[in-house]
Structure 1
Amino acid sequence: MTSSRSAMTAAAPDPTTAPLPPLTIALAGPRGFCAGVDRAIQIVERALQKFGAPVYVRHEIVHNRFVVDSLRAKGAVFVDDLAQCPADRPVIFSAHGVPKSVPAAAEARRMTWVDATCPLVSKVHMEAERHAEDHRQLILIGHAGHPEVIGTMGQVPDGAMLLVETVADAETVQPQDPAALAYVTQTTLSVDETADIVAVLRRRFPEIQGPRKEDICYATTNRQAAVKAMVEGCDAVLVIGAPNSSNSKRLVEVARNAGCSRSLLVQRAADIDWTQMDGIRRLGLTAGASAPELLVEEVIDACRERFAVTLEHVSVTEENVVFKLPAILADAPAAE
């Protein structure tokens, strides 16, 4: 991808005060909300409009505390297990996807349920089902314990899917039949690391089948490419995102691997350790796919209290992806 840069200089500091040190903030683009996250948040908001509060949500709808707290204030109730939901209230499944057993349990209790699974995660689920039906064992490249991984592994019978997390795992994994093997991936992985893992699998198992189109989602790919374009010359990089957000943590890794060792994950401006910003002249700034732009603006404002800020926009592409809402919410009014 090619990148474009444009600069905008902040107003000069008040001459009656000590001059603030200069700081250029390189803003990566794209950053922040992806189409799947935007859709999931809309689903909760429209469900509240249609059904009234409370509406129950199984697990965090997306991995961002600010977003979850905002929806909680509107009447969403977040629970860890379907058993915590009353049968007479709607329940929403998170954007990360759920095992097949979860909607089956909701059906058994005759609950109203809405699936907010990102359509790109659903694509992986359908790939896994297709391979299982064709009697292929599956390898899932992903991170153990992540909700998306739990949901994907729950699409096929026990034992039909093996989890591979690292290149070392790929070198040692032992499928039942290498001639009847396929792989899928978590959608929020490091593009480069995943390519290394796939290369090992293809070397060891030449007949392995992969997805027709890359499973790592467009938003993850674009945000990582933007960080690579933005990071040159940066003394530090801040990634706004939650500590349990896979795509946000991968952005930190990408920045470090690209040469900026002082790359940090923060949830919002209040979490910044300003002693780690001492002496910086150029700061890279981005946000994971679950982080709202409001938190980016908050960090910029916090920087302006300490530096004379110049903003530089580093963009690798424009995103215009929009996902449809579930049919059950088609007649629900948009949140005000």
Structure 2
Amino acid sequence: MPDLPPLTLYLAAPRGFCAGVDRAIKIVEMALQKWGPPVYVRHEIVHNRFVVDALRAQGAVFVEELSECPDDRPVVFSAHGVPKSVPAEAADRRMIAVDATCPLVTKVHNEAARHHEAGTQMIYIGHAGHPETVGTMGQLPPGEVLLVETVEDVARLQVRDPAKLAFITQTTLSVDDTAGIAAALKARFPLIHAPAHDDICYATTNRQAAVKAVAPKIDALLVIGAPNSSNSRRLVEVGSAAGCGYSMLIQRAADIDWRALTGVRAIGLTAGASAPEVLVNEVIDAFRTRFAVTVEQVETAVEDIEFKVPRILREPA
């Protein structure tokens, strides 16, 4: 067997599952244990096919709308959050509903509600159509939340009263891009209220910081995550912005473009907040079949946050 070329794999840390994702998966598993299958889940519980398929094998049924759920089976709302109309409909139908919304997303929902009660119009920095965006904007009546995705969108905003504005953000955005949009909002609307604490979640911030720390050491960056995972896609963008000539999103080891990695000697590897560590190990094993691999971890933060599951799952059946 010929000698394998040397390769250093730099593992970014933190990476992979965050506390909100851990909690959401646990909620579905506990619901299946408590009520038995099937348990319905409105939207993918988290954006990862591997996780969704594993839960489906245990008896979870994933649907896009509540209308696809029977009245007599439990339904779980995804970690991304849902518009207010969804739990209201579930209550009208007397369904057993379990809310797996990440507590950090719920914090943004509560923030929006407080501003609305004070008569303040909201501006939401986020991606149109993303479930978290739909859920957050759906907390308030139509027209009360205006969406901006870029700095250019800020210039086109038409607001009710420039003196009564506040902004909030999607929790999974790029820290750097959001800072630019926030600066544009403050420049155009000097009286706008900013969040008391950054809405971008700790896990998103930490994973982006780890990629920035790895970037100077590597020839290419691989991010394990789903195409519809906002935080995973932002990690790819952060890698590119930090100087990685090749920064690519993959779902599993089978997606690696080996030809694009010809001649590389140092590769960064990370995973989005909804990607399990088993997929990281799968990618490392794939590299070991082609290279003499040295693994080095680059750790920029330690995460020890844990969120409680809803009370309904902790009570006896």
Aligned mates of 1:309, 1:332 — CA distance in 2 = 50
2:43 pairs, out of 35, 46, 59, with 59
1:316 pairs, out of 277, 300, 311, with 300
2:310 pairs, out of 304, 323, 326, with 326
Structure 1 gap segments, 5+ residues each: 1-16
Partner of 1:202: 186
Partner of 1:103: 87
2:133 counterpart of 1:122 = no
2:8 counterpart of 1:39 = no
From the superposition, tell whether residues 332 and 60 of structure 1 become closer, same or farther in structure 2 (CA, over 3 Å).
Answer: farther
Aligned mates of 1:296, 1:55 — CA distance in 2 = 29
Say which SS state the counterpart of residue 293 (structure 2) adopts: strand
**Which string of whole-angstrom CA distances, capped at 9 and with x for unpartnered residues, describes residues 135-179 of structure 1?**
111000000000000000000010001000001112221211100
Q: 1 or 2 for the larger relative contact order (CA 8 Å, sep ≥6)?
A: 1
How many residue pairs get aligned? The number is 317
2:184 counterpart of 1:191 = no
Please tell me the residue identity of whatever aligns with 2:258.
W
Partner of 1:271: 255
Displacement after TM superposition at 1:76 (Å): 0.2
**Which string of whole-angstrom CA distances, capped at 9 and with x for unpartnered residues, describes residues 245-264 of structure 1?**
00000000000000012000
2:150 pairs, out of 166, 183, 204, with 166
1:292 pairs, out of 261, 264, 276, with 276
1:89 pairs, out of 73, 83, 86, with 73
2:220 counterpart of 1:236 = yes
Partner of 2:131: 147
Aligned mates of 1:76, 1:210 — CA distance in 2 = 39
Aligned mates of 1:172, 1:83 — CA distance in 2 = 36
Displacement after TM superposition at 1:276 (Å): 1.0
Aligned mates of 2:195, 2:264 — CA distance in 1 = 43
Aligned mates of 2:234, 2:55 — CA distance in 1 = 26
Say which SS state the counterpart of residue 192 (structure 2) adopts: coil
1:304 pairs, out of 278, 281, 288, with 288
Please tell me the residue identity of whatever aligns with 1:52.
G
Please tell me the residue identity of whatever aligns with 1:69.
D
2:159 pairs, out of 175, 181, 190, with 175
Instruction: Indicate if the aligned counterparts of 1:268 and 1:299 stay in contact, CA closer than 8 A.
Output: yes
Instruction: Indicate if the aligned counterparts of 1:46 and 1:332 stay in contact, CA closer than 8 A.
Output: no
Aligned mates of 1:44, 1:188 — CA distance in 2 = 22
Please tell me the residue identity of whatever aligns with 2:89.
A
Please tell me the residue identity of whatever aligns with 2:228.
N
Aligned mates of 1:233, 1:319 — CA distance in 2 = 23
Say which SS state the counterpart of residue 26 (structure 1) adopts: strand
Partner of 1:7: none
1:132 pairs, out of 116, 123, 133, with 116
Aligned mates of 1:264, 1:162 — CA distance in 2 = 32
What RMSD in Å do the two structures reach over aligned CA positions?
0.9
Aligned mates of 1:225, 1:171 — CA distance in 2 = 29
- Aligned residues with identical type, % of pairs: 68
Aligned mates of 2:65, 2:125 — CA distance in 1 = 25
Aligned mates of 2:81, 2:217 — CA distance in 1 = 38
Runs (4 or more) in structure 1 with deviation over 4 Å come to: none
Instruction: Indicate if the aligned counterparts of 1:142 and 1:185 stay in contact, CA closer than 8 A.
Output: yes
Aligned mates of 2:286, 2:130 — CA distance in 1 = 32
Structure 2 gap segments, 5+ residues each: none
2:233 counterpart of 1:254 = no
Say which SS state the counterpart of residue 96 (structure 1) adopts: coil
Say which SS state the counterpart of residue 231 (structure 1) adopts: helix
Partner of 1:6: none
What TM-score, normalized to structure 2?
A: 0.99
Alignment of 1:74-85 (within 5 A): 74-85=58-69
Aligned mates of 1:261, 1:109 — CA distance in 2 = 53
Say which SS state the counterpart of residue 217 (structure 2) adopts: coil
Displacement after TM superposition at 1:332 (Å): 6.7
Aligned mates of 1:155, 1:331 — CA distance in 2 = 28
Instruction: Indicate if the aligned counterparts of 1:49 and 1:332 stay in contact, CA closer than 8 A.
Output: no
Please tell me the residue identity of whatever aligns with 1:121.
V
